[in-house]
Amino acid sequence: MLSNASSSLRHIQAKQYFDGQAWHKDWVLTWGKDRWVNLGPGVSHGSSVDTTVPYLIPALVDLQIYGAGGSLLSVEPSAQTVEKIAQYCRAGGAAWFQPTVATNSLAVFKAAMEAVRTYQNNGGKGCLGLHLEGPWIHPEKRGAHSLAFIHSPTATEVREILALGKGVVTMITLAPEVVEPALVAEIMAAGMVVSAGHSQASYQEATRAFDAGVPAATHLYNAMSGLQHRAPGMVGAIMDHYSVKSSIVPDGYHVDWAAIRIAHKAMGPRLFAITDAVTETQEGPYPHQFFQDRYESNGILSGSALTMLKALKNLHQKVGLSLTEAIGMCSTYPAQLVPPPEQAFLALDDQLNFVELFC
């Protein structure tokens, strides 16, 4: 613990501080040598305060982002690409992120694992682990994913991924109806979060998977069987379940604002935001092109241009959620699914613009 007498300490007063559950007025964050030292009630004036900010909240968490700065992780699987993603996330208020590789070859997955491992082993900040989205998904719900790589796994393949990804892979998106339940259980037993997505599962199939322990679903509404009055599908199963969480992409293109509001009314803290952000690239099976504030691949919506801070503002200003719930969806709710190793803080101005990230 650093001494309060240290001249390197900064004292940042927040007019309002949100701890993930409740708001507090006039709290002070003491910061020094790239780490926070103390957080507690403070005074509204005095020589000990170096900076005053309107809002201090838990730093944001992005559990699905594919690349940044012109480098897609699947095309340039290196620690340098992970660092570009980290910089993009920090500039958008997210201290923690989970780089993601969409359906691809085993060789690409291996290279992405090694990139994340190298980044983490060399002191890279903020990377929670690698998210493998596919290839064990339903071909009819592939979205922009390449059909050439989609398949149901063998036990041998699953165990190879588990061995290669130990300590690095934190999440796998799969369609539960195309993977044997015993193999799904084996993945979860290895400590990786299974997220149901790109799935044609019926309401009954999805509910069985959730009841068996699958804790999450990937980008609600997108690339999954929809809610129909006689066939509730995976969307209905997610909304109706007592515990399963789901990500959603609040950019106004992936999902209508009203659909997000409806889902939030049904799910509350089980719903959280991701950026699903990609970057412009012409290489590999996913040549993303920027188009009107989003990305397309081969003419299909393939990713967003969101930051997590933009997602928060959209949830509050366009969906109409309270600031408390918007913050929860972008920070504390995803952190419950993939917990960060330590607390970090984000300071915002009166208009919810980025001021500073403390992590």
Could you tell me the CATH superfamily of domain 60-342?
A: Metal-dependent hydrolases (3.20.20.140)
Q: What is the 8-class DSSP label of residue 328?
A: H
Residue 4: the pLDDT is 38
Cis check: omega of the bond before 135, within 30 degrees of 0: yes
Cβ atoms 41, 60 nearer than 8 A: no
pLDDT in tens, 249-297: 999 999 999 999 999 999 999 999 999 999 888 876 777 788 888 888 7
Residue of 276, 293, 349, 350 marked active site: 276
Short-list 81, 182, 187, 172, CA closest to 134 = 172
**Per-residue confidence at 6, pLDDT binned at 50, 70, 90?**
very low
The size of the chain, in residues, is: 359
Token pair, residue 211, equals 């009841």
Judged against a pLDDT cut of 80, whether residue 143 lies above it is answered with yes
By CB neighbour count within 10 A (0-12 exposed, 13-18 middle, 19+ buried), where does 224 fall?
buried
Q: Which secondary-structure segment (H or E) carries 356?
A: strand 354-358
Cβ atoms 310, 274 nearer than 8 A: no
Would you tell me the crossing angle of helices 181-189 and 155-164 to the nearest 10 degrees? 10
- What would the mean pLDDT of 179-185 be, rounded to a whole number? 98
Q: What is the CA radius of gyration of the chain?
A: 20
- What would the mean pLDDT of 210-229 be, rounded to a whole number? 98
pTM of the model: 0.95
Cβ atoms 192, 164 nearer than 8 A: no
34 against 110, higher pLDDT? 110
Residue 253: the pLDDT is 93
Short-list 32, 16, 20, 2, CA closest to 59 = 20
Adjacent-strand bridge partners of 53: 14
Cβ atoms 301, 27 nearer than 8 A: no
- What would the mean pLDDT of 107-127 be, rounded to a whole number? 98
Residue 1: the pLDDT is 28
Cβ atoms 69, 277 nearer than 8 A: no
Domain ranges of the chain: 10-58+346-358, 60-342
Reply yes or no on whether 240 is catalytic. Answer: no
Short-list 253, 277, 248, CA closest to 98 = 277
pLDDT in tens, 193-216: 999 999 999 999 999 999 999 999
d(CA 310, CA 332): 16
Q: Note the helical H segments in the chain.
A: 79-91, 106-121, 155-164, 181-189, 203-211, 233-240, 257-267, 308-314, 323-330, 332-337
Provide DSSP, 116-180.
HHHHHHTT--SB--EEEE-SSS-GGG-TTS-GGG--PPPHHHHHHHHHHTTTTEEEEEE-GGGS-
